[in-house]
Chain A
Amino acid sequence: MFESIASFIVGVSAIFLAYYLAAVGHGLMEKSGVLNLAIDGVFTLGVAIAFAVSVYTFSVPLATFIAMIVAALFGLMLAFITTKLPISHGAAGLSTMFLGYGLAALVGLPARQLQINGRSLATIQPSLGGTWIWFYVVAFVVAIGIWYLVEKTKIGAAIRAAGENPASAEALGVNVLAVRLFASGVGYALIGIGAAVFELAYTQVWSQGAGMGYGWIAFAISLSAGRHPILILISAMIFAALDKYRFLIAATYNLPPDVGKMLPFVAAIAAMIIFMVTPLKRKLAPPKSLGKIYFREERTV
């Protein structure tokens, strides 16, 4: 079905890395208890920013950097308003999502106009000079780094504590706001980089709405892997393969194209079930206070 294993690995490397970074960032943020419904909007905005900056400056690093910074700012904002004020995480997240969609159009369209008029876009080609190897290396290094951070360090314990029970965490000496700012800032920085990789290494084109829906797939990847940095590697790989080859699969088996579009989500459910019947389920259970409004002066019995 695939020309060869090698071309498959090279072919999915960019979308794999994009998914991986967005999913792992999302998971890190949610580990601290902030429900992240803004992901698709900010991902879409990140895609537009990466595109625009790349058009204006013709610099891939700069485009990635700016996408990362802007996304991180959104992460900080979300963590701040949901922790400091008794505001619903759902409402804050969804409004931010729409804000992201709107801003994405605002940022992307002028650059697109320039591109139509002949300006070109800096991109990276995964297949050129073994770049794709570095994509995998980055994913694995980030996986191990985030896993170590979350599972082994003091701040990791603080992040998990804030997600399980912020009131108890506070009583144990955790500054819940600071910890959530950290997790959400770093988490969204990763989402921003993921969006840049998506634009500059995977699609390499932009039209209004580019990237929309891919944030939700990252959300599903993270969820299906129980927000676990290592398991997300597996989920991200499955989704990347399905995204790249879904039409091929649909054509090969003579399935309608809409079924092809559904495949990633079927895979998400399957992955979730598989992880949950293993002894890992305790580690992969969602943080108990995910999305709950945390108001400090309220009693915890």
Chain B
Amino acid sequence: MAAEANNAKPTFLSPPQEGKKPIVSLRGITKRFPGVIALDHIDLDIYPGTVHALLGENGAGKSTLVKVLYGIYTPDEGEIIINGRPTRLTSPADAINMGIVMVSQSPQIIDTLTVAENIILGLEKYNHFVPVTKVYKTIREESKRVGIKIDPGIEVWRLSYTQKQLVEILRAILLGAKVLLLDEAITYLPIEEKQRFYKFIRRFADEGGTVVLITHKIYEAMDVADKITVLRRGKVAGHLDRKEATIEKIRALMFGERSAEITYERLPTAQPEPKTILEVKDLWVMGDFGGYAVQGVSLEVKKGEVLGIAGVAGNGQKELIQAIMRLRPVMKGRIIYNGEDITRKTTYYLRVNGVGYIPDLPAKYGVSIENSIIENIAVLPVYSRGIINWDKIRELTLKLIKEFEIKTPSPDTPVKFLSGGNIMKVLVARELTVATNLLVAYNPTRALDEATAIKVRKIIKEKVLKNKVSAIIASEDLDEIFQISDRIAVMNSGKIVGVFPADKAKREEIEHLMVM
């Protein structure tokens, strides 16, 4: 029956692989949400033994598509055909039974449960009343095989982001996944883990597994994928085979005209003024689990310059940024902002004095997802002291929605209904507006598509050049660091291990210092 469906409309699908039948086919899949058509009659064939990249700008429908495949959303129209059979997936448990497992950008595993408890929840072969310790052995064995060190009895809140993602992937393997759906799951892993995982994905596919890979890193997709499907505004913009895929073709499909704006050239170097806006002196800050995450860091940001902080995730950047924002206690050392010692001052003080802040994990710490876009903007102390002028805020919100091309049915839509990248855009747009003196950011273009990421960098640089705003930007993305920074500081194991003028810095040297 599926074969018939296949023969019926093969025209615009990429040619099937030699003799193989698709493991998953979508026919006319449509999913509407109030005010948007997230998926508009999607046709797609996914073949076993392939890595199939799913690309598209923010809000294109990528996450919605994999959530349909994982049984989280039920499509309004269309048919899902698995192994040649039309199948209804009404819950993730259904999908897991069919060998389909999703890993998303934000770990789904639950903090208060142990690793083993999280994993056993999806394992059908264990009945409900078995003790969880029954899976310990399997977990230990399998994790050794994949090359992950993990204690099955540890509670998840003790794990770092990277470790959580590793557990998610381990879980997928233990569930016997035949189709792995990776929704930006590896995008934010440190370089080394990332490479390990790309290797793992390749091997998994070569052994007959199937991977659907969502990423905004187009080069990575081109490297690892056998097939590429580009979504645009809920429709398939095109299917490409590895051989025919070029970066230009992909970008054109993804962004249309906007693709012409994409460039990784260094943005113009700023001419900073002599005045120091931010100074950090011999700073010591604790990490989450005891021990110093920041160990004697000193640095300076001049008026009208961008200081980029390069480093592999987990080397103290997060704690440094939080300490500067007064969100983490300083054990020793001083922070001086605008000539004033702020070591004992509050975040509020910074927020009403021209500091914008883009935190790590934006959906958790940057916006309140239950509230609307307007409310998320009005909440900043610069707007909400005394009586809120809602007319003004609405005007500002509408302006930001337009400027940042935030895809939303209305400014009153709760943020949780936006796509991952569009949530980030709300945060970035708001913070760039309030950063009239200093921007403090950690991965400011996280989750943004290429075109938007570059646009955000351009806006930041323009503010630095024109309005003499200063910025300290920590990022795990070296392309970003090189494109936007005027000076680059490299952070490793809680220390600054080198500072370079960006126009003279050598990439190899910086990469070396990062992993040294």
Contacts and interface: CB of A to CB of B under 8 A. Distances in A.
Interface string B96-137: 100000100010111111000110111100111111110000
Nearest to B121: A172
A175 B93 CA distance: 7
A152 B110 contact: no
A258 interface: no
Contacts of A173: 92-93, 96, 121-123, 175
B396 interface: no
A250 interface: no
Interface stretch (B12-20, B378-386, B416-424, B474-482): B416-424
B267 interface: no
Contact of B363 (A168, A297, A301): A301
Interface size class of B (residues with CB under 8 A): 35 or more
Interface in A260-301: 282, 285, 288, 296-301
B70 interface: yes
A172 B122 contact: yes
B73 interface: yes
Contact of A153 (B70, B93, B132, B420): B132
A25 B15 CA distance: 59
A161 B121 contact: yes
A275 B59 CA distance: 46
B171 to A, nearest CB: 8
Interface string A153-181: 11111101100110011111111000000
B360 to A, nearest CB: 14
B72 A169 contact: no
Nearest to A283: B112
Contact of A171 (B72, B120, B128, B131): B72
B212 to A, nearest CB: 16
Contacts of A285: 112
B131 A152 contact: yes
A155 B129 contact: yes
A160 B113 contact: yes
B109 A172 contact: yes
A157 B109 contact: no
A156 B120 CA distance: 11
B111 A153 contact: no
B350 interface: no
B493 interface: no
A168 B130 contact: no
B91 interface: yes
Contacts of B364: 301
B369 interface: yes
Contacts of B74: 297
B72 to A, nearest CB: 7
Contacts of B118: 157, 161, 172
Q: Which 4 A-B pairs have the closest CB atoms?
A: A173-B122, A157-B117, A301-B363, A155-B128
Interface of A: 149, 152-158, 160-161, 164-165, 168-175, 282, 285, 288, 296-301
Interface of B: 70, 72-74, 91-93, 96, 102, 106, 108-113, 117-118, 120-123, 126-133, 171, 175, 363-364, 369, 416-417, 420, 423
Given A157-B120, A301-B423, 6 more contacts: A154-B126, A154-B130, A157-B117, A161-B118, A164-B111, A301-B420
